[in-house]
Amino acid sequence: MQTLLESRLLSRLTPKKARLDAQRPLPRAAVARLVENLNLEWIYNSNAIEGSTLTLRETQLILEHGITIGGKSLREHFEVINHRDAIEFVETLARGDEPISPFHVRQIHQLVLARIDDENAGQYRRTNVRIAGAAHIPPEAFRVASEMEAWSVWLNSTASELHPIDRAALAQHKLAAIHPFIDGNGRTARLVMNLLLLRDGYPPTVILRANRVQYYRVLAQADREKNAPLINFVGRAAERSLNLYLDAVTARTRRAAKHSEWISLHDAAQGTPYSQEYLSLLARLGRLEAKKIGRVWHTTRRAVEAYRDSVKES
């Protein structure tokens, strides 16, 4: 299986995915609240990346109580509800085995733009566009339909040989690069990415608003056919979701061993040849297993030792 995932990241993802698969069917009670929270994160962050000013809490109030938030546009409210509906549709598609086609993409887009722009919802753009701030120029409008058919052929043939994360990340990028719709392309592309990941047994992967600048940077690199940064960016996001799921379904009968406890990078650097800043770089590159608790990176002593061992072997 072909992959551009960094070897250290891949060596963590593979056993974590296997551990999650071994727990299937996942206990409903254990994951119900997690799924709810992860979908909330997914909706909030995907909309925020595209410019929504709603906070996470405001997004939650709209979803759970139908509350209208003062000072926020009607469009922003519809973006929340629409994204929830699109996720439900994606989850339904993920349970099937029908090859993903341009028709499915248009169905997802129809839900994304419902009540916001009904005329263009689910319809390919009829005008040429430029992506603000990007050097990449999407294909002319008359070529969109044929480009989407080519995307579908690639997805269901050549891309099948790729690692699921490579396939999902590249499918998202290729779709965004075609820019088939007049609006809502980013949201639709990320929904399709997660549809593919869900089909392969991965949890939904959330691209965080806090990583927006890096996200656009790796997409721009993929525009120049440098795909590894994007694939590893998505891989690190996938690891975060795997960690959340494994924490939810793994029984805790005793306290974690000291070497497996999550500690700050400042503490983890003590007694090692690495500085806190270097560990932070490794964490951001996915070479060191780490996660953010609040805004602070944390890792384990075991993870640092694993990194040291990998350096000795290379």
Residues assigned a catalytic role: 179
In the three-class reduction of DSSP (H, G, I as helix; E, B as strand; rest coil), residue 162 is classed as strand
| DSSP-assigned letters across all residues of 66-105 | -PPPTTS-HHHHHHHHHHHHHHHHHHHHHTS-SPP-HHHH
Buried b (16+ CB within 10 A) or exposed e, 255-270: eeeeeeeebebeebbe
Kindly tell me the sign of the dihedral angle through the C-alpha atoms of 129, 155, 92, 29.
negative
**How far is Cα 106 from Cα 182, in angstroms, rounded to an integer?**
12
**How far is Cα 267 from Cα 302, in angstroms, rounded to an integer?**
13
Torsion, Cα 218 224 226 229, to 10 degrees, reads: 0
